[in-house]
Amino acid sequence: MSLRARLARAEGPLLSTFAIAASFSTYFAMYAFRKPIAAASFEEASVFGGLLGFKTALLLGQLLGYTTSKFLGTRWLPEVTRTQRPQLLVGLILAAELALVAFGLLPRSLGIIALFANGLPLGMVWGLVVRYLEGRRSSDWLLAGLSCSFILASGVVKDIGRLLIRAGITESWMPAATGALFLLPFLLSVYLLDQLPEPNAEDVALRTKRVPMSKAERQAFFRSFAPALLPLLTVYVLLTAFRDFRDNYGLEAFEALGVAGDSAVFTRAELPVAFLVLLALGALSLVKDARRGFYAALGLMTLGLLLLPLSTWALSAGFVGGIAWMILTGIGSYLAYVPYGSILFERLVAFRGVAGTAVFGIYLADALGYAGSALLQIAHDLGSAGTGSAETRLETLQTLAYATGGVGATCMLFAGLWLSKQPRTEP
């Protein structure tokens, strides 16, 4: 009997544990091909006549590729069939690693092109993994577990990248070396992920059947929910800008806070964030009703948004230290950010009885969010004349915390009120 057939007969807890482990390890390994670049300092002062810092230029190259991938994903991923997923996952990661090798080989002046080519395939991976997990009774728990992979992986792979640099590997070759360490784990994880059986009849009854969406169906979905989607997408743009800035310039923020000397500081800061976010979002799986679960997610996201300005005020008042503030902003931002890539659209599709896939909503939000993140990084370095000092990075992060929390909570309230007045559709 094949592994997939055995899993189809498995009890719910066993199947859920397997699904979380396989999806978590798949996306965790993917981050080794994306985030190590942020662990390097690239101390060349600036590029483009002093307008942008060199590290910002490299990160923007990767981010533009990633953002382009998200826009393509809104069109392409909802139409991908089950049999195409594993081959696509493997092909995308191999293309990303080849781009990192090119980054090591090419002159620094062409590094932006190599990182654009690296980000272009990686933006598709999340949607392909989510397609394995959505539409199940346990999807909330599964997607919460998957989401914690990138919270923890971001810190771990950057710490690994810093260790490789200290071991003598150059900043140019460190990203490719980090990716190479995770290539075999990624391949094994994809094989295990592809053994998951399709949702059963009870899953379909509770969460609706997930099917590919045509262009007309995607347009109809957006028109139906536009009054709620527009404020929700506004929040996501702010959250993505904050989360990406905190993630990409965490090294500089820690330096300004005086706590950058710890070789494992990223892991120390993100481990409690991953644990608490997993616990909070996993608890949403206890809410079986899709509509109530959706509003419970909105409430939890609003609490996360409010934590951003509150913790930043506590830092300025001296009530918390630098690492504690980074942990608190991590908890707040990820409580609000993670549901966009998992629970929020999963529950919306379920309680409104939409025939389609949550991946369309996820990738629509991602495309706009990463575009906003790229614009923020450009605006920041233009405003600071390309210096990108640790102090200015920290000041920008604190300003973003106040703006994201205040505007985000207001938009979240508006979206929830509009949806609450719409007639309920049984799944």
* Per-residue pLDDT tens digits for 292-335: 888 888 999 999 999 999 999 999 999 998 889 999 999 999 99
Contacts of 302 (CB under 8 A, 6+ apart): 336, 408, 409, 412, 413
Contact by Cβ (8 Å): 312, 113 = no
Which of 139-143, 176-180, 250-254, 421-425 is least confident? 421-425
pLDDT on residue 240: 86
Is it the case that residue 224 has pLDDT exceeding 50?
yes
pLDDT on residue 261: 61
pLDDT on residue 67: 84
CA distances from 372 to 60, 61, 275, 278, 378 (A): 11, 14, 28, 26, 10
Ordered by where they begin, the domains of the chain are 3-420 (1.20.1250.20)
Is it the case that residue 34 has pLDDT exceeding 80?
yes
pLDDT on residue 385: 45
Mean pLDDT of 63-68: 87
Mean pLDDT of 371-400: 71
Of 148, 287, 300, residue with least CA distance to 206: 287
Give dist(CA 294, CA 347) in Å, integer.
5
Is it the case that residue 361 has pLDDT exceeding 60?
yes
Confidence of residue 351 (pLDDT cuts 50, 70, 90): low
Mean pLDDT of 272-293: 80
Of 279, 101, 97, residue with least CA distance to 186: 97
Whether the CA torsion 328, 331, 332, 334 is positive or negative: it is positive
Confidence of residue 184 (pLDDT cuts 50, 70, 90): very high
- Nearest 5°: the CA angle 37, 336, 146 is 60
Confidence of residue 44 (pLDDT cuts 50, 70, 90): low
Average pLDDT, the chain: 83
pLDDT, tens only, 9-29: 776 788 888 999 999 999 999
Mean pLDDT of 382-387: 53
Give dist(CA 63, CA 75) in Å, integer.
19
pLDDT on residue 269: 83
pTM: 0.72
Tokens standing for 105? 């080989």
Give dist(CA 23, CA 329) in Å, integer.
26
Instruction: Count CA within 13 A, CB hemisphere, residue 113.
Output: 7
Give dist(CA 78, CA 410) in Å, integer.
31
pLDDT on residue 333: 94
Mean pLDDT of 243-272: 79
Helices (H), 208-340: 215-248, 250-257, 265-282, 290-316, 322-337
Contacts of 399 (CB under 8 A, 6+ apart): none
